[in-house]
């Protein structure tokens, strides 16, 4: 720990030196030391230049009330639908006009020989003006096909259509598919995915297997069946529920003692198919109830690697789970913010020089802690949030990246937040980059610079730079701009 962090840490310890707290968190929660975690920000030293740009900006700031950021609704989503009526491969869209030479999408549609795929649009037919798509060579970007989709139908308030790609694709070669959705109010959104002509790869059977196994993990009566599907090893860690794998104990896999239940049915995404296995990811919220009756919302990110045997049975060959708690109201224990379940220590957090204020990111929201004379007098403020008025949240992963072995390498949301600075009065400067999945900039992709005025409880957007591309691409562009 550097001298600066040690000094600030001692200040924080002195603030809480007389704290008496109820120590009943979840088993093995991750307590992130505020100042130790602040070292994470040091890796982003280039942000100083953006702070300078902000300070010198002549752009008239736009004032937002934090509570109003979620107004504007939610960006429409598109799902794939199997012949049996099950949804998979959820696609998030971003605003656009005309088709783009897009990067490869985060999910994979395995096309059978008829090259047909049913899509479901999360809008009624009356709100849709036109749906079309482009297919491009994923290597060169050359246009293969552009087609308007006809014969839209409606079922249960959602619109369905069938994409029937022309017989122009080579077998076992990925192609970029971009769907263009134009709504009745003239708004245009673009959705990216990948298609590959693979024939019958038993996608239905594999998706059914994952749905069944995922359900058993939340059914205490199915512990023996779960044990048979995995390969538990006694030497594995059985205490950190936030991370689990193929060799984890059944008690860990099944959230033993935490009364876990799903808050919604997961939408699986096929992300990779190779000779070894098919990788299927899921990101969904669950509710956990501890022995002290504390209830928490946790986002579960999973990867199931499955394959079909010569006997016609789907088997699990690898599994990985990373879970992150979305805080309803943060807590403090001995100069540390209790973030509950966290799969890793990669937390975006920054403290003021006087150690009175600390800003940190959790579940797509930006929080500010004002330290009091004791923990009961500490105050938390939700500085930035896109949570909608209807209760919808954007804390699920948009994309879970995996390697050839089926291990999680990266988890991306629709957008990210970087804290630039926190001053001694609690005002915060920060950036938001990626695509706004809802709220006041619904569907827009780019980089925003914000300043939160703690004294007046006002949030200012200094400026917004529009960018194109997927999350990782926009993130890289943001980092380049920060270093200029």
Q: Which residues pair with 94 in a beta bridge?
A: 190
Rounded CA separation 334/282 (Å)? 35
Helix (H, G, I), strand (E, B) or coil at 13: helix
The secondary structure of residue 376, as a DSSP letter, is: G
Rounded CA separation 281/391 (Å)? 24
Average pLDDT over residues 104-115: 91
Report the pLDDT value the prediction gives residue 53, as an integer from 0 to 100: 38
Q: What is the pLDDT of residues 409-434, one digit of tens each?
A: 999 999 999 999 999 999 999 999 98
Across 65-74, 302-311, 438-447, least confident range: 65-74
What pTM was estimated for this model as a whole? 0.83
* Class in CATH terms, 77-103+113-197: mainly beta
Report the pLDDT value the prediction gives residue 62, as an integer from 0 to 100: 52
Rg from Cα positions in the chain: 24
Across 61-75, 423-437, 441-455, least confident range: 61-75
β-bridge pairing 188-197 and 108-111: parallel
Task: Select from 117, 120, 115 the least CA-distant residue to 91.
Answer: 120
pLDDT band at 19 (very low <50, low <70, confident <90, very high): very low
Report the pLDDT value the prediction gives residue 273, as an integer from 0 to 100: 94
pLDDT band at 440 (very low <50, low <70, confident <90, very high): confident
Q: What is the pLDDT of residues 116-133, one digit of tens each?
A: 999 999 999 999 999 999
Report the pLDDT value the prediction gives residue 22, as an integer from 0 to 100: 33
Report in angstroms the alpha-carbon separations of 80 from 222, 224, 401, 478: 30, 33, 19, 31
Phi, psi dihedrals of residue 237, rounded to the nearest 5°: -65, 125
Rounded CA separation 353/388 (Å)? 34
The secondary structure of residue 438, as a DSSP letter, is: B
Report the pLDDT value the prediction gives residue 359, as an integer from 0 to 100: 94
Average pLDDT over residues 242-257: 94
Q: Taking the alpha carbons of 71, 75, 81, 86 in that order, is the dihedral positive or negative?
A: negative
The secondary structure of residue 226, as a DSSP letter, is: H
Helix (H, G, I), strand (E, B) or coil at 36: helix
Q: What dotted CATH number matches 203-324? A: 3.10.450
Task: Select from 150, 160, 73, 172 the least CA-distant residue to 119.
Answer: 160
Report the pLDDT value the prediction gives residue 32, as an integer from 0 to 100: 41
Average pLDDT, the chain: 82
Across 221-230, 323-332, 378-387, least confident range: 323-332
Q: Tokens 């040091």, residue? A: 42
**In the chain, where the domains are located:** 3-71+345-483, 77-103+113-197, 203-324
Report the pLDDT value the prediction gives residue 331, as an integer from 0 to 100: 64
Q: CB count, 10 Å around CB of 99?
A: 16
Rounded CA separation 253/307 (Å)? 21
Q: What is the pLDDT of residues 135-183, one digit of tens each?
A: 999 888 899 999 999 999 999 999 999 999 999 999 999 999 999 999 9
pLDDT band at 463 (very low <50, low <70, confident <90, very high): confident
Report the pLDDT value the prediction gives residue 4, as an integer from 0 to 100: 35
Contacts of residue 426, defined as CB under 8 A and 6 or more positions apart, other chains included, come to 352, 356, 357, 368, 370, 454, 455
């Amino acid at each position: 720990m550097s001298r600066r962090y040690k000094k600030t840490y001692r200040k924080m310890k002195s603030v809480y030196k007389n704290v008496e707290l109820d120590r009943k968190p979840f088993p093995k929660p991750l307590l992130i030391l505020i100042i130790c975690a602040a070292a994470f920000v040091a890796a982003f030293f280039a942000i100083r230049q953006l702070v300078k740009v902000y300070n010198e900006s002549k752009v008239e700031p736009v004032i937002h009330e934090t509570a109003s950021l979620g107004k504007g609704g939610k960006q429409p989503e598109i799902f794939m639908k199997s012949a049996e009526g099950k949804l998979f491969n959820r696609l998030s869209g971003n605003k656009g006009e005309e088709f783009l030479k897009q990067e490869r999408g985060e999910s994979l549609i395995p096309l059978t020989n008829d090259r047909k795929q049913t899509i479901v649009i999360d809008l009624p037919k009356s709100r849709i003006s036109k749906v079309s798509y482009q297919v491009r060579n994923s290597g060169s970007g050359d246009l293969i096909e552009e087609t308007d989709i006809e014969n839209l139908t409606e079922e249960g308030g959602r619109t369905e259509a069938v994409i029937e790609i022309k017989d122009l694709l080579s077998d076992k070669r990925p192609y970029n598919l971009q769907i263009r959705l134009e709504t009745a109010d003239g708004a245009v959104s673009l959705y990216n995915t990948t298609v590959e002509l693979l024939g019958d790869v038993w996608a239905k059977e594999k998706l059914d297997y994952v749905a069944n196994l995922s359900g058993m993990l939340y059914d205490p009566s199915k512990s023996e069946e779960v044990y048979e599907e995995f390969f538990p090893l006694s030497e594995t860690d059985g205490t950190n529920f936030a991370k689990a794998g193929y060799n984890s104990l059944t008690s860990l896999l099944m959230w033993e003692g935490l009364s876990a239940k799903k808050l919604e049915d997961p939408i699986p995404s096929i992300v990779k198919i190779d000779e070894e296995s098919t990788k299927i990811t899921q990101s969904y919220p669950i509710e956990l109830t501890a022995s002290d009756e504390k209830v928490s919302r946790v986002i579960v990110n999973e990867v199931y690697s499955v394959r079909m045997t010569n006997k016609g049975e789907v088997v699990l060959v690898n599994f990985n789970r990373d879970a992150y708690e979305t805080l309803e109201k943060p807590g403090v224990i001995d100069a540390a913010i209790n973030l509950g379940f966290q799969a890793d220590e990669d937390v975006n957090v920054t403290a003021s020089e006087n150690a009175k204020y600390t800003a940190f990111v959790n579940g797509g929201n930006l929080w500010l802690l004002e330290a009091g004379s004791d923990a009961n007098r500490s105050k938390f403020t939700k500085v930035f949030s896109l949570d909608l008025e209807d209760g919808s949240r954007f804390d699920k992963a948009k994309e879970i990246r995996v390697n050839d072995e089926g291990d999680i390498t990266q988890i991306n949301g629709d957008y990210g937040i970087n804290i630039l600075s926190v001053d001694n009065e609690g005002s915060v400067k920060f950036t938001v980059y990626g695509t706004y999945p809802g709220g006041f900039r619904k569907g827009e992709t780019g980089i925003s610079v914000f300043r939160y005025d703690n004294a007046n409880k006002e949030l200012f957007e200094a400026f917004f730079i529009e960018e194109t591309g997927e999350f990782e691409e926009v993130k890289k562009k943001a980092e380049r701009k920060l270093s200029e």
